[in-house]
Amino acid sequence: MPGPQQRGQRRPLSVRGSRPAARLGGNSKVRIAVGRFLLIGALVIAGVKLVQVQGIQAGELAQQAEKQRITNQNIPAERGSILDRNGNQLAFSIEVRALYILPQRARKAWDEARAKDPEQYPVSYDDHAREVAKFISGTLGPEVNGWKTDEETIYRRLVKDISYEVLVSEAEPAKAAKIVEKYPAEIGSEYRSKRIYPNGELAANIIGAANWRQDEKPPTTQGILGLESAQDNLLAGRMGRRVVDTMSGDDSVVIPNTERELVKPQPGKSLELTIDIDTQYAVQKIVSDYTAKTRAKNGSAVVLDARTGEIVAMANDKTYDPANFGAASEDQLRNGAVASNFEPGSVHKIVTAAAAVEYGLFKPDDVLQVPGSIKVADRVIRDAWSHGTVPMTFTGVFAKSSNVGTLMAAQEVGQERFAEMLDKFGLGKRTQSGVPAEEAGVVPPLNQWSGSTFGNLPIGQGLSMTLLQMTGMYQAIANDGVRVPPRLVRAEIGEQGSRTEKQRPEGVRVVSPETAKTVREMFRSVTQSDPRDANQNGTGRPAAVPGYQIAGKTGTAQQIDQTCKCYSQSEYWTTFAGILPADNPRYVIGVMLDAPENAQSASPVFHDIATFLTQRFKVPMSAEQTPFVQLQL
């Protein structure tokens, strides 16, 4: 029986394992070949696509890119406030929101979505717009700051066949957020700022006006008038930056809810003024009422702190609503207290009085033999009342406002010393007070004086000044002979309430303290009233305030008649400047009336303002009443 068939010899493991290795090597070559083929294919496809994109579809894709692009935009900063000296707000900004829609884009998006999923979008765009309009009107109410926001009006805006439509310009941020949250795909919200003037017309001639300027690049709140304009850079702050998606090639049309903030804006600084809001209100009302009563063309008043020169109040009879400044006339917009030059008249005689005392030429009780007229070059100057030669004390010359007596004293002073005194009083140049639109006034230089010039200047004609300059002259006498340039801005307030006090201007020594005190005492007699002898009465008796010594001066200056280019016989500027109280000066008040009927005095305006100040600031009464002095022998 044959035995089992003998098997062949077993192969070594190394040999058996080599066959799979050979198969693996064969697959790798195939894979590399396939990979190369696919890579070449991909490059060919990419190349074809590139040709298609850059060539065939270039126009279409460019149009699509134009419809939505990334745009960098500036973010307006929060505008600083304007405050009075006690922190009361005179101007501040609030955030509001403009709600808008891109109607054509919204309709197209709705129609496309409805075509894809009619169950989720069962109604037409117009019906959807009705629903949106109802919600917006219900949230905002029927009107927002003059914008109609009733349901029908909103609906008509939603369905307009245009690319961009504002629904409301000044919505409350919280209400705007509620609407955008409800309809984020359709409604966009855009930041805007609204300037608020809580006191309306009060101090508008100083504060000015600012409003949101949508036409600016970028849109922002911009100062237009007054301090709002002059201090615009400080109040405006520094803009931030953001990235948005914009539509239709118009960088101003932002696709709703695509804003990404990059750099936060830096808020503007606030301004603390020297103005006291209560005093400003009282002075503005007093001036307005008296200007209307006397039928003057214009009226202004200024109140200065006697020691610091700070402007406590500055008011004109005409003013305007800063929130509606476009409706104001040019006369309403002007700050007459600094922008109107006028001839001061006899209130200017304080220059002669100060110079004569300073140079030791006259003492208060010195007697001058004052004739009824005096000739200066080719001019004859008379007093306001007819008289022969009258013995007047040097004090009486100013209390009775004698032109002739004043010119007699001025001639003793001399032209050069008089011109030097005008310069020390700061006339003919701006005060640098910080009040916008300030005029410099006009003082003819000494080398241009004619023979008759020195017959005009000492009595307040032939030169012009602003009311602020005129009041500043009396501040120098109130402040022991040192004129401190007036100022309006007291401090700058930064973030977190950091306060930087503005440096006070350097004072200018005009006359010695002794001279200033003597002049104050002399000018107390302007308000003197003697029931026994009218010759001892001053010209400014209505300015007197019971219980307080008042030093001041009246003024009446002829205006220029434009028909003859000569001095008018019917129209005058009437002025008054005075110190309260004369024995311990706290405040200086200047008043100007432009052509009041019958040249009515400005003294009553001073009286009313001074009376208010004594009550508002609890000014102590004078230690003693003003003594009676002899004005005329």
Interval 32-58: pLDDT, tens? 766 677 777 667 676 666 655 455 555
For the CA atoms of 361, 441, 522, 391, what is the dihedral angle to 10 degrees?
A: 60
Is residue 346 part of the annotated active site? The answer reads yes
Query: Element (H or E) spanning 490, and its range?
Result: strand 489-493
Mean pLDDT of the chain: 90
Domains of the chain: 72-99+112-171+178-273 (3.90.1310.10), 277-320+333-491+500-617 (3.40.710.10)
How far CA 436 is from CA of 165, 286, 338, 433, in Å, comes to 39, 23, 8, 9
pTM of the model: 0.84
pLDDT at residue 65 tops 90: no
**What Rg, from alpha-carbon coordinates, does the chain have?**
41
Rounded Cα–Cα distance for residues 521 and 189 (Å): 67
Does residue 207 register a pLDDT over 60? yes
Name the H helices within 296-414: 330-333, 336-339, 350-358, 394-399, 403-413
218: cis peptide before it, omega within 30°?
A: yes
Q: What number of other Cβ atoms are within 10 A of residue 135's Cβ? A: 17
Catalytic residue among 81, 189, 346, 525: 346
CB atoms within 10 A of CB 415: 14
Average pLDDT over every residue of 187-206: 95
Summarize the confidence of residues 457-467 as an average pLDDT: 97
Chain segment 413-432, per-residue pLDDT in tens: 999 999 999 999 999 999 99
